Amino acid sequence: MITSTAQRQYTSPVIAWRPLPADVSDLLCVESSEHEIGPWMHARPAITLTRSRAIVRLESRRSVQVERDTVLLVPPLHAYSIRLVEEGTAPVVTLLPGLRPAVKQSNTPALTTRADLVAAVAQLVSDPAREILPVLEQLAMESAVIAPKAIGIATPLLPLRDYLRAHLSAPVPTATLAEMAGLTEWHCIRAFHHEFGLPPHAYHMRLRLAEASRLLATGQSVSTVAYDCGFADQSHLSRKFKEIYGMAPAGWASVAGSDTQRIRSMRGQRAPLSVMRPERLRRQHAEKWLS
What is the extent of the structural domain holding 38? Answer: 7-149+278-290
pLDDT band at 99 (very low <50, low <70, confident <90, very high): low
In the chain, where does DSSP find H-type helix?
5-8, 115-126, 133-142, 158-166, 174-181, 185-196, 200-217, 222-228, 234-245, 249-256, 259-266, 278-290
The answer to whether position 270 is within a domain reads no
Same domain, 140 and 176: no
The CA-based diameter of the chain, rounded to the nearest angstrom, is 60
130 and 179 in a common domain: no
* 202 vs 73: CA distance, rounded Å: 22
Do 64 and 86 belong together in one domain?
yes
Distance (Å, whole) CA 109 – CA 61: 9
Q: Are residues 214 and 99 in the same domain?
A: no
Across the range 103-128, mean pLDDT stands at 83
Look at residue 31 and tell me if it is in a domain: yes
Q: What CATH number does the domain containing 123 carry?
A: 2.60.120.10
Q: Is 191 exposed, middle or buried (0-12, 13-18, 19+ CB in 10 A)?
A: buried
Task: State the pLDDT at residue 107.
Answer: 80
State whether 143 and 165 are in the same domain.
no
Q: What is the torsional sign of CA 12, 255, 119, 280?
A: negative
* Alpha helices for 9-107 (secondary structure H): none
The answer to whether residues 181 and 104 belong to one domain is no
> How far is 22 from 28, CA to CA, in rounded Å?
9
Co-location of 202 and 236 in the same domain: yes
Closest CA to 162 of 190, 121, 130, 203: 203
Same domain assignment for residues 188 and 283: no
* Pair 79, 144 in one domain: yes
**Is 39 a member of any domain?**
yes
Q: Distance between CA atoms of 207 and 163, rounded to whole angstroms?
A: 11
> What is the total count of domains within the chain?
2
Side chain identity at residue 291, one-letter code: S
Give the CA dihedral 276, 136, 96, 46, nearest 10 degrees: -130
Per-residue confidence (pLDDT) for residue 54, from 0 to 100: 93
> How many distinct helices (H) and strands (E) make up the chain?
12, 11
165-221, pLDDT tens digit by residue?
999 988 899 999 999 999 999 999 999 998 899 999 999 999 999 999 999 998 899
Same domain, 170 and 89: no
Whole-number Cα distances in Å, 268 to 224, 251, 263, 271: 21, 14, 10, 10
Q: What is the mean pLDDT of the chain?
A: 80
pLDDT of residue 128: 66
User: According to the model, what pLDDT value does residue 9 have?
Assistant: 33
